[in-house]
Structure 1
Protein backbone atom coordinates (compact mmCIF):
# COMPACT_ATOMS: atom_id res chain seq x y z
CA UNK A 1 0.00 0.00 0.00
CA UNK A 2 1.35 3.42 -0.96
CA UNK A 3 1.87 6.05 1.74
CA UNK A 4 -0.76 8.79 1.80
CA UNK A 5 0.46 12.22 0.76
CA UNK A 6 0.98 14.33 3.92
CA UNK A 7 -1.03 17.31 2.68
CA UNK A 8 -3.93 15.14 1.54
CA UNK A 9 -3.84 13.50 4.95
CA UNK A 10 -3.85 16.95 6.59
CA UNK A 11 -6.93 17.88 4.59
CA UNK A 12 -8.89 14.87 5.83
CA UNK A 13 -9.47 16.45 9.25
CA UNK A 14 -12.63 18.49 9.83
CA UNK A 15 -10.84 21.16 11.84
CA UNK A 16 -8.62 21.83 8.81
CA UNK A 17 -11.18 21.31 6.08
CA UNK A 18 -13.94 23.65 7.23
CA UNK A 19 -11.71 26.74 7.62
CA UNK A 20 -10.13 25.92 4.25
CA UNK A 21 -13.48 25.69 2.48
CA UNK A 22 -14.69 28.80 4.31
CA UNK A 23 -11.68 30.70 2.97
CA UNK A 24 -12.25 29.30 -0.54
CA UNK A 25 -15.89 30.41 -0.60
CA UNK A 26 -15.10 33.80 0.89
CA UNK A 27 -12.41 34.33 -1.73
CA UNK A 28 -14.86 33.32 -4.45
CA UNK A 29 -17.50 35.70 -3.06
CA UNK A 30 -20.04 32.90 -2.80
CA UNK A 31 -23.23 33.32 -0.82
CA UNK A 32 -23.98 31.31 2.36
CA UNK A 33 -20.31 30.74 3.08
CA UNK A 34 -20.83 29.25 6.54
CA UNK A 35 -23.54 26.91 5.28
CA UNK A 36 -21.51 25.57 2.37
CA UNK A 37 -18.29 25.22 4.39
CA UNK A 38 -20.10 23.18 7.02
CA UNK A 39 -22.08 20.98 4.61
CA UNK A 40 -19.28 20.34 2.12
CA UNK A 41 -16.54 19.47 4.60
CA UNK A 42 -17.44 15.81 4.87
CA UNK A 43 -18.07 15.49 1.13
CA UNK A 44 -14.66 17.00 0.47
CA UNK A 45 -12.90 14.70 2.93
CA UNK A 46 -14.78 11.65 1.66
CA UNK A 47 -13.72 12.47 -1.90
CA UNK A 48 -10.07 12.59 -0.86
CA UNK A 49 -10.42 9.40 1.18
CA UNK A 50 -12.06 7.43 -1.63
CA UNK A 51 -9.63 8.81 -4.19
CA UNK A 52 -6.70 7.67 -2.09
CA UNK A 53 -8.18 4.25 -1.40
CA UNK A 54 -8.88 3.56 -5.07
CA UNK A 55 -5.42 4.66 -6.18
CA UNK A 56 -3.67 2.82 -3.35
CA UNK A 57 -5.61 -0.36 -4.10
CA UNK A 58 -4.51 -0.24 -7.74
CA UNK A 59 -0.94 -1.09 -6.75
CA UNK A 60 -1.98 -4.49 -5.40
CA UNK A 61 -4.42 -5.56 -8.12
CA UNK A 62 -3.97 -7.26 -11.52
CA UNK A 63 -3.14 -5.08 -14.50
CA UNK A 64 -6.65 -5.45 -15.95
CA UNK A 65 -8.21 -3.90 -12.83
CA UNK A 66 -5.79 -1.00 -12.43
CA UNK A 67 -7.33 1.34 -15.05
CA UNK A 68 -10.75 1.15 -13.38
CA UNK A 69 -9.40 1.82 -9.88
CA UNK A 70 -7.15 4.66 -11.02
CA UNK A 71 -9.84 6.26 -13.16
CA UNK A 72 -12.46 6.26 -10.42
CA UNK A 73 -9.88 7.33 -7.86
CA UNK A 74 -9.09 10.39 -9.97
CA UNK A 75 -12.84 10.99 -10.35
CA UNK A 76 -13.22 11.26 -6.57
CA UNK A 77 -10.15 13.46 -6.27
CA UNK A 78 -11.38 15.89 -8.93
CA UNK A 79 -14.83 16.09 -7.40
CA UNK A 80 -13.24 17.00 -4.07
CA UNK A 81 -11.20 19.73 -5.75
CA UNK A 82 -14.31 21.05 -7.48
CA UNK A 83 -15.96 21.60 -4.10
CA UNK A 84 -13.31 24.22 -3.34
CA UNK A 85 -14.38 26.39 -6.29
CA UNK A 86 -17.98 25.29 -6.90
CA UNK A 87 -19.81 24.84 -3.56
CA UNK A 88 -23.01 23.77 -5.31
CA UNK A 89 -21.40 20.94 -7.28
CA UNK A 90 -23.10 19.02 -8.79
CA UNK A 91 -25.76 21.54 -9.74
CA UNK A 92 -27.22 19.38 -12.53
CA UNK A 93 -27.09 15.75 -13.65
CA UNK A 94 -25.21 16.84 -16.78
CA UNK A 95 -21.96 17.37 -14.88
CA UNK A 96 -22.04 13.82 -13.51
CA UNK A 97 -21.33 12.22 -16.91
CA UNK A 98 -17.76 11.38 -17.89
CA UNK A 99 -17.55 14.26 -20.36
CA UNK A 100 -15.54 12.12 -22.80
CA UNK A 101 -16.33 9.42 -25.32
CA UNK A 102 -14.37 6.93 -27.42
CA UNK A 103 -14.66 5.97 -31.04
CA UNK A 104 -15.63 2.58 -32.43
CA UNK A 105 -12.62 0.36 -33.01
CA UNK A 106 -11.43 -1.96 -35.76
CA UNK A 107 -10.07 -4.64 -33.47
CA UNK A 108 -7.58 -6.24 -35.82
CA UNK A 109 -5.89 -2.93 -36.64
CA UNK A 110 -6.37 -1.18 -33.31
CA UNK A 111 -3.38 0.54 -31.70
CA UNK A 112 -3.81 2.26 -28.36
CA UNK A 113 -1.35 5.08 -29.01
CA UNK A 114 -3.27 5.99 -32.16
CA UNK A 115 -6.67 5.91 -30.48
CA UNK A 116 -8.60 9.09 -29.76
CA UNK A 117 -11.05 10.41 -27.21
CA UNK A 118 -13.70 13.00 -28.01
CA UNK A 119 -14.50 15.81 -25.57
CA UNK A 120 -18.19 16.20 -24.84
CA UNK A 121 -19.88 19.57 -24.08
CA UNK A 122 -21.08 18.41 -20.66
CA UNK A 123 -19.71 16.18 -17.93
CA UNK A 124 -16.94 15.97 -15.35
CA UNK A 125 -14.08 16.49 -17.79
CA UNK A 126 -15.16 19.85 -19.29
CA UNK A 127 -16.48 21.01 -15.91
CA UNK A 128 -13.19 20.26 -14.17
CA UNK A 129 -11.16 21.66 -17.07
CA UNK A 130 -12.96 25.00 -16.82
CA UNK A 131 -13.32 25.37 -13.05
CA UNK A 132 -9.98 23.89 -11.93
CA UNK A 133 -7.66 24.91 -14.76
CA UNK A 134 -9.48 27.56 -16.79
CA UNK A 135 -8.66 25.31 -19.72
CA UNK A 136 -10.44 24.70 -22.98
CA UNK A 137 -9.00 22.21 -25.48
CA UNK A 138 -8.20 23.59 -28.90
CA UNK A 139 -9.64 20.50 -30.59
CA UNK A 140 -12.60 18.30 -29.75
CA UNK A 141 -10.48 15.17 -30.21
CA UNK A 142 -7.15 14.10 -28.75
CA UNK A 143 -4.97 11.06 -29.49
CA UNK A 144 -3.43 8.99 -26.74
CA UNK A 145 0.06 9.65 -28.09
CA UNK A 146 -0.66 13.38 -28.05
CA UNK A 147 -1.68 13.23 -24.38
CA UNK A 148 1.03 10.85 -23.18
CA UNK A 149 4.03 12.40 -24.93
CA UNK A 150 4.22 15.65 -22.86
CA UNK A 151 3.85 13.91 -19.47
CA UNK A 152 7.14 14.11 -17.51
CA UNK A 153 6.66 10.53 -16.30
CA UNK A 154 6.61 9.30 -19.92
CA UNK A 155 9.63 11.18 -21.24
CA UNK A 156 12.22 8.48 -20.63
CA UNK A 157 10.11 5.90 -22.42
CA UNK A 158 9.46 8.20 -25.37
CA UNK A 159 13.15 9.02 -25.57
CA UNK A 160 13.79 5.38 -26.43
CA UNK A 161 11.68 5.87 -29.55
CA UNK A 162 14.06 8.67 -30.58
CA UNK A 163 11.15 10.91 -31.44
CA UNK A 164 10.70 14.57 -30.64
CA UNK A 165 8.90 15.22 -27.37
CA UNK A 166 7.16 18.43 -28.50
CA UNK A 167 3.42 18.21 -29.32
CA UNK A 168 1.34 20.29 -31.69
CA UNK A 169 -0.99 22.80 -30.03
CA UNK A 170 -1.25 23.51 -26.32
CA UNK A 171 -0.28 20.77 -23.86
CA UNK A 172 -3.07 19.85 -21.48
CA UNK A 173 -2.77 20.20 -17.71
CA UNK A 174 -1.29 16.92 -16.47
CA UNK A 175 -4.32 15.91 -14.41
CA UNK A 176 -6.60 16.30 -17.42
CA UNK A 177 -4.28 14.15 -19.51
CA UNK A 178 -4.28 11.47 -16.83
CA UNK A 179 -8.07 11.67 -16.65
CA UNK A 180 -8.52 11.25 -20.41
CA UNK A 181 -6.02 8.40 -20.80
CA UNK A 182 -7.35 6.56 -17.76
CA UNK A 183 -10.88 6.97 -19.10
CA UNK A 184 -9.89 5.36 -22.38
CA UNK A 185 -8.04 2.53 -20.65
CA UNK A 186 -11.02 1.89 -18.39
CA UNK A 187 -13.25 1.65 -21.46
CA UNK A 188 -10.85 -0.86 -23.02
CA UNK A 189 -10.95 -3.01 -19.89
CA UNK A 190 -14.74 -2.87 -19.72
CA UNK A 191 -15.69 -3.28 -23.37
CA UNK A 192 -12.67 -4.62 -25.26
CA UNK A 193 -11.76 -7.58 -23.08
CA UNK A 194 -10.51 -9.69 -25.99
CA UNK A 195 -8.05 -7.03 -27.11
CA UNK A 196 -6.92 -6.32 -23.55
CA UNK A 197 -6.43 -9.98 -22.73
CA UNK A 198 -4.43 -10.60 -25.89
CA UNK A 199 -2.24 -7.55 -25.26
CA UNK A 200 -1.56 -8.60 -21.67
CA UNK A 201 -0.77 -12.22 -22.53
CA UNK A 202 1.18 -11.79 -25.76
CA UNK A 203 3.07 -8.61 -24.84
CA UNK A 204 4.02 -8.33 -28.49
CA UNK A 205 2.82 -4.78 -29.01
CA UNK A 206 4.38 -1.44 -28.20
CA UNK A 207 1.09 -0.53 -26.56
CA UNK A 208 1.79 -2.92 -23.68
CA UNK A 209 4.95 -1.15 -22.55
CA UNK A 210 3.37 2.30 -22.72
CA UNK A 211 0.20 1.23 -20.91
CA UNK A 212 2.05 -0.50 -18.07
CA UNK A 213 4.47 2.40 -17.65
CA UNK A 214 1.64 4.93 -17.67
CA UNK A 215 -0.40 3.03 -15.09
CA UNK A 216 2.60 2.71 -12.81
CA UNK A 217 3.27 6.43 -13.08
CA UNK A 218 -0.37 7.27 -12.41
CA UNK A 219 -0.26 5.56 -9.01
CA UNK A 220 2.29 8.13 -7.85
CA UNK A 221 1.53 11.12 -10.02
CA UNK A 222 -2.25 11.37 -9.56
CA UNK A 223 -2.11 11.89 -5.75
CA UNK A 224 0.95 14.14 -6.11
CA UNK A 225 -0.73 16.36 -8.71
CA UNK A 226 -3.94 16.57 -6.65
CA UNK A 227 -1.89 17.49 -3.60
CA UNK A 228 -0.06 20.21 -5.53
CA UNK A 229 -3.32 21.66 -6.86
CA UNK A 230 -4.85 21.77 -3.37
CA UNK A 231 -1.71 23.30 -1.85
CA UNK A 232 -1.81 26.05 -4.47
CA UNK A 233 -5.49 26.59 -3.76
CA UNK A 234 -4.80 26.67 -0.02
CA UNK A 235 -2.08 29.29 -0.45
CA UNK A 236 -4.20 31.41 -2.80
CA UNK A 237 -6.98 31.92 -0.23
CA UNK A 238 -4.76 32.65 2.80
Structure 2
Protein backbone atom coordinates (compact mmCIF):
# COMPACT_ATOMS: atom_id res chain seq x y z
CA UNK A 1 0.00 0.00 0.00
CA UNK A 2 2.78 2.42 0.88
CA UNK A 3 5.50 3.11 -1.66
CA UNK A 4 9.05 3.97 -0.73
CA UNK A 5 8.48 7.69 -1.26
CA UNK A 6 5.58 8.01 1.17
CA UNK A 7 6.16 5.47 3.93
CA UNK A 8 8.70 7.63 5.78
CA UNK A 9 6.26 10.54 5.86
CA UNK A 10 3.36 8.24 6.77
CA UNK A 11 5.22 6.84 9.79
CA UNK A 12 6.11 10.29 11.10
CA UNK A 13 2.52 10.70 12.32
CA UNK A 14 1.79 9.41 15.83
CA UNK A 15 -1.61 8.02 14.88
CA UNK A 16 0.09 5.78 12.31
CA UNK A 17 3.24 5.01 14.25
CA UNK A 18 1.62 3.55 17.37
CA UNK A 19 -0.39 0.79 15.66
CA UNK A 20 2.62 0.04 13.44
CA UNK A 21 4.94 -0.40 16.42
CA UNK A 22 2.31 -2.35 18.33
CA UNK A 23 2.03 -4.82 15.45
CA UNK A 24 5.83 -5.12 15.32
CA UNK A 25 5.95 -5.94 19.04
CA UNK A 26 3.04 -8.37 18.82
CA UNK A 27 4.95 -10.30 16.16
CA UNK A 28 7.82 -10.82 18.57
CA UNK A 29 5.27 -11.84 21.23
CA UNK A 30 5.96 -8.95 23.56
CA UNK A 31 3.30 -8.96 26.27
CA UNK A 32 3.39 -5.18 26.66
CA UNK A 33 3.15 -4.38 22.95
CA UNK A 34 0.62 -1.55 23.26
CA UNK A 35 2.43 0.13 26.14
CA UNK A 36 5.82 -0.05 24.41
CA UNK A 37 4.27 1.27 21.20
CA UNK A 38 2.82 4.23 23.09
CA UNK A 39 6.13 4.96 24.83
CA UNK A 40 8.34 4.54 21.75
CA UNK A 41 6.27 6.30 19.09
CA UNK A 42 7.75 9.75 19.64
CA UNK A 43 11.32 8.45 19.82
CA UNK A 44 10.75 6.53 16.60
CA UNK A 45 9.36 9.63 14.85
CA UNK A 46 12.12 11.83 16.24
CA UNK A 47 14.76 9.51 14.79
CA UNK A 48 13.15 9.59 11.35
CA UNK A 49 12.84 13.39 11.52
CA UNK A 50 16.49 13.84 12.42
CA UNK A 51 17.52 11.37 9.74
CA UNK A 52 15.59 13.42 7.18
CA UNK A 53 16.94 16.74 8.40
CA UNK A 54 20.59 15.70 8.44
CA UNK A 55 20.23 14.14 4.99
CA UNK A 56 18.57 17.23 3.51
CA UNK A 57 21.25 19.43 5.07
CA UNK A 58 23.96 17.31 3.45
CA UNK A 59 22.62 18.20 0.01
CA UNK A 60 23.38 21.88 0.56
CA UNK A 61 26.79 21.78 2.26
CA UNK A 62 30.41 21.63 1.07
CA UNK A 63 31.96 18.24 0.36
CA UNK A 64 33.94 18.32 3.60
CA UNK A 65 30.74 18.44 5.68
CA UNK A 66 28.69 15.88 3.76
CA UNK A 67 30.20 12.70 5.32
CA UNK A 68 29.41 13.91 8.85
CA UNK A 69 25.82 14.84 8.05
CA UNK A 70 25.15 11.63 6.12
CA UNK A 71 26.67 9.54 8.91
CA UNK A 72 24.51 11.26 11.53
CA UNK A 73 21.49 10.85 9.24
CA UNK A 74 21.97 7.11 8.92
CA UNK A 75 22.71 6.76 12.63
CA UNK A 76 19.33 8.26 13.55
CA UNK A 77 17.50 6.24 10.91
CA UNK A 78 19.02 2.99 12.21
CA UNK A 79 18.06 3.81 15.79
CA UNK A 80 14.45 4.19 14.66
CA UNK A 81 14.60 0.88 12.82
CA UNK A 82 15.92 -0.81 15.94
CA UNK A 83 12.88 0.38 17.90
CA UNK A 84 10.70 -1.78 15.64
CA UNK A 85 12.49 -4.99 16.68
CA UNK A 86 13.67 -4.12 20.19
CA UNK A 87 11.17 -2.13 22.28
CA UNK A 88 13.75 -1.71 25.05
CA UNK A 89 16.47 -0.20 22.85
CA UNK A 90 18.89 1.06 24.09
CA UNK A 91 19.09 -1.20 27.12
CA UNK A 92 22.71 -0.29 27.98
CA UNK A 93 25.22 2.41 27.11
CA UNK A 94 27.33 -0.19 25.30
CA UNK A 95 25.01 -0.21 22.30
CA UNK A 96 25.31 3.58 21.84
CA UNK A 97 28.96 3.56 20.71
CA UNK A 98 29.82 3.51 17.00
CA UNK A 99 30.72 -0.17 17.05
CA UNK A 100 33.53 0.50 14.56
CA UNK A 101 37.03 1.93 14.82
CA UNK A 102 39.73 3.09 12.46
CA UNK A 103 43.35 4.07 12.58
CA UNK A 104 43.48 7.70 13.74
CA UNK A 105 46.85 8.52 12.21
CA UNK A 106 47.00 7.51 8.57
CA UNK A 107 50.04 5.98 6.91
CA UNK A 108 52.24 7.94 4.52
CA UNK A 109 50.94 7.73 0.94
CA UNK A 110 47.49 6.94 2.32
CA UNK A 111 44.90 5.60 -0.15
CA UNK A 112 41.24 5.51 0.76
CA UNK A 113 40.43 2.21 -0.98
CA UNK A 114 43.18 0.46 0.98
CA UNK A 115 42.06 1.83 4.32
CA UNK A 116 40.04 -0.38 6.63
CA UNK A 117 37.73 -0.24 9.62
CA UNK A 118 37.68 -2.64 12.55
CA UNK A 119 34.47 -4.15 13.85
CA UNK A 120 33.99 -3.86 17.59
CA UNK A 121 32.08 -6.37 19.74
CA UNK A 122 29.67 -3.71 21.06
CA UNK A 123 28.02 -0.62 19.65
CA UNK A 124 25.46 0.46 17.08
CA UNK A 125 27.03 -1.31 14.11
CA UNK A 126 27.14 -4.90 15.49
CA UNK A 127 23.80 -4.41 17.24
CA UNK A 128 22.06 -3.22 14.07
CA UNK A 129 23.77 -5.95 12.03
CA UNK A 130 22.39 -8.68 14.28
CA UNK A 131 18.94 -7.32 14.99
CA UNK A 132 18.03 -5.74 11.65
CA UNK A 133 19.77 -8.05 9.17
CA UNK A 134 20.69 -11.21 11.13
CA UNK A 135 24.17 -10.49 9.81
CA UNK A 136 27.32 -11.79 11.46
CA UNK A 137 30.82 -11.57 10.07
CA UNK A 138 33.94 -13.38 11.18
CA UNK A 139 36.10 -10.57 9.80
CA UNK A 140 37.72 -8.33 12.36
CA UNK A 141 38.39 -5.66 9.77
CA UNK A 142 37.24 -4.83 6.25
CA UNK A 143 38.69 -2.51 3.60
CA UNK A 144 36.91 0.33 1.85
CA UNK A 145 37.47 -1.50 -1.42
CA UNK A 146 35.63 -4.59 -0.13
CA UNK A 147 32.69 -2.44 0.92
CA UNK A 148 32.52 -0.19 -2.14
CA UNK A 149 33.05 -2.74 -4.89
CA UNK A 150 29.73 -4.64 -4.50
CA UNK A 151 27.66 -1.43 -4.55
CA UNK A 152 25.91 -1.27 -7.96
CA UNK A 153 26.41 2.46 -8.40
CA UNK A 154 30.19 2.10 -8.00
CA UNK A 155 30.67 -0.55 -10.70
CA UNK A 156 31.25 1.86 -13.58
CA UNK A 157 34.18 3.49 -11.75
CA UNK A 158 35.84 0.15 -11.11
CA UNK A 159 35.37 -0.78 -14.78
CA UNK A 160 36.74 2.59 -15.93
CA UNK A 161 39.74 2.32 -13.63
CA UNK A 162 40.16 -1.38 -14.50
CA UNK A 163 40.76 -2.24 -10.87
CA UNK A 164 40.96 -5.85 -9.77
CA UNK A 165 40.68 -7.42 -6.34
CA UNK A 166 41.27 -10.80 -4.77
CA UNK A 167 38.50 -10.31 -2.24
CA UNK A 168 36.05 -13.20 -1.92
CA UNK A 169 34.23 -11.95 1.16
CA UNK A 170 30.47 -11.98 1.39
CA UNK A 171 28.90 -8.62 0.44
CA UNK A 172 27.40 -6.79 3.38
CA UNK A 173 23.78 -5.61 3.51
CA UNK A 174 23.88 -2.28 1.70
CA UNK A 175 22.79 -0.15 4.67
CA UNK A 176 25.61 -1.60 6.79
CA UNK A 177 28.11 -0.89 4.01
CA UNK A 178 26.93 2.72 3.85
CA UNK A 179 27.22 3.03 7.62
CA UNK A 180 30.80 1.70 7.72
CA UNK A 181 32.01 3.79 4.76
CA UNK A 182 30.40 6.96 6.10
CA UNK A 183 31.91 6.29 9.51
CA UNK A 184 35.38 6.14 7.99
CA UNK A 185 34.79 9.23 5.84
CA UNK A 186 33.52 11.15 8.87
CA UNK A 187 36.69 10.22 10.75
CA UNK A 188 38.80 11.47 7.85
CA UNK A 189 36.96 14.79 7.91
CA UNK A 190 37.42 15.12 11.67
CA UNK A 191 41.03 13.99 12.03
CA UNK A 192 42.70 14.23 8.62
CA UNK A 193 41.76 17.76 7.58
CA UNK A 194 45.02 18.36 5.69
CA UNK A 195 44.64 15.19 3.61
CA UNK A 196 40.97 15.94 2.94
CA UNK A 197 41.66 19.53 1.89
CA UNK A 198 44.44 18.43 -0.44
CA UNK A 199 42.20 15.80 -2.02
CA UNK A 200 39.49 18.40 -2.64
CA UNK A 201 41.89 20.89 -4.17
CA UNK A 202 43.81 18.53 -6.44
CA UNK A 203 40.87 16.37 -7.56
CA UNK A 204 43.22 14.20 -9.57
CA UNK A 205 43.42 11.26 -7.21
CA UNK A 206 41.38 8.09 -7.52
CA UNK A 207 40.26 8.78 -3.95
CA UNK A 208 38.39 11.91 -5.03
CA UNK A 209 36.44 10.09 -7.76
CA UNK A 210 35.41 7.20 -5.51
CA UNK A 211 34.50 9.39 -2.53
CA UNK A 212 32.44 11.95 -4.45
CA UNK A 213 30.56 9.26 -6.37
CA UNK A 214 29.78 7.38 -3.17
CA UNK A 215 28.58 10.49 -1.32
CA UNK A 216 26.39 11.56 -4.22
CA UNK A 217 24.68 8.17 -4.48
CA UNK A 218 24.55 7.54 -0.74
CA UNK A 219 22.36 10.59 -0.22
CA UNK A 220 19.87 9.05 -2.67
CA UNK A 221 20.14 5.45 -1.52
CA UNK A 222 19.89 5.87 2.26
CA UNK A 223 16.25 7.05 2.45
CA UNK A 224 15.22 4.46 -0.15
CA UNK A 225 16.88 1.62 1.78
CA UNK A 226 15.35 2.80 5.06
CA UNK A 227 11.92 3.00 3.42
CA UNK A 228 12.33 -0.47 1.89
CA UNK A 229 13.20 -1.96 5.27
CA UNK A 230 10.20 -0.31 6.92
CA UNK A 231 7.97 -1.40 4.06
CA UNK A 232 9.01 -4.98 4.79
CA UNK A 233 7.98 -4.53 8.42
CA UNK A 234 4.74 -2.94 7.28
CA UNK A 235 3.99 -5.90 5.03
CA UNK A 236 4.63 -8.40 7.83
CA UNK A 237 2.44 -6.39 10.23
CA UNK A 238 -0.66 -6.90 8.08
CA UNK A 239 -1.47 -3.17 8.25
CA UNK A 240 -1.33 -2.74 4.47
CA UNK A 241 -4.87 -3.96 3.95
TM-score, normalised with respect to structure 1: 0.95
Residue 125 of structure 2 is matched in structure 1 by 125
Alpha-carbon displacement from aligned partner over 1:102-127 (angstroms, at most 9, x marks no partner): 02444431111100000000000000
Q: Which residue matches 1:187?
A: 187
Could you tell me how far apart the structure 2 residues matched to 1:144 and 1:86 are?
Answer: 30
Q: Distance in 2 between matches of 1:153 and 1:176?
A: 16
Question: For 1:109, what is the secondary structure of its paired residue?
Answer: coil
> Residues 1-238 of structure 1 correspond to what in structure 2 (within 5 A)?
5-163=5-163, 167-238=167-238
34 and 106 in structure 1: CA distance in 2 versus 1, 3 angstrom threshold? closer
- The C-alpha deviation readout for 1:113-148, integer Å capped at 9, x for no partner, is 100000000000000000000001131100000000
Cα distance, 1:60–1:92 mapped onto 2, change above 3 Å: same
In structure 2, the CA distance between the partners of 1:40 and 1:201, relative to structure 1 (3 Å rule), is same
Tell me whether 98-107 or 121-130 shows the greater mean CA deviation: 98-107
* Cα deviation code 1:8-38 (max 9, x no counterpart): 1111111111110000000011131111000
- Provide the C-alpha distance between the structure 2 equivalents of 1:172 and 1:32, rounded to a whole number of angstroms: 33
Q: Between 67-76 and 165-174, report the one with greater CA deviation.
A: 165-174
Structure 2: distance between partners of 1:43 and 1:183: 23
| Distance (whole Å) between structure 1 residues aligned to residue 205 and residue 108 of structure 2 | 13
Note if contact 2:12-2:49 (Cα within 8 Å) is conserved in structure 1. yes
Alpha carbons of 1:177 and 1:166: their partners in 2 closer, same or farther (altered >3 Å)?
Answer: farther
For 1:152 and 1:165, the matched residues in 2 are separated by 16
Instruction: State the distance in 1 between where 2:6 and 2:106 align.
Output: 45
Question: 3-state SS of the aligned residue for 1:108?
Answer: coil
Q: After TM superposition, give the deviation of residue 167 of structure 1 in Å.
A: 4.5
Q: Deviations over 1:159-182 (max 9, x none)?
A: 212345894121100000000000
Q: Provide the aligned C-alpha RMSD in A.
A: 1.4
Misfit runs of 4+, over 4 Å: 164-167
Cα distance in 1 for partners of 2:15, 2:57 equals: 27
Q: Tell me how many residue pairs correspond in the alignment.
A: 235
Q: Distance in 1 between matches of 2:222 and 2:112?
A: 21
Give unpaired runs (5+ residues) of structure 2: none
Q: Distance in 1 between matches of 2:165 and 2:236?
A: 32
Give, in whole Å, the separation in 2 of the partners of 1:39 and 1:7: 21
What is the TM-score when the length of structure 2 is the normalising length?
Answer: 0.94
Using the alignment, how far apart are the partners of 1:150 and 1:124 within structure 2?
Answer: 23
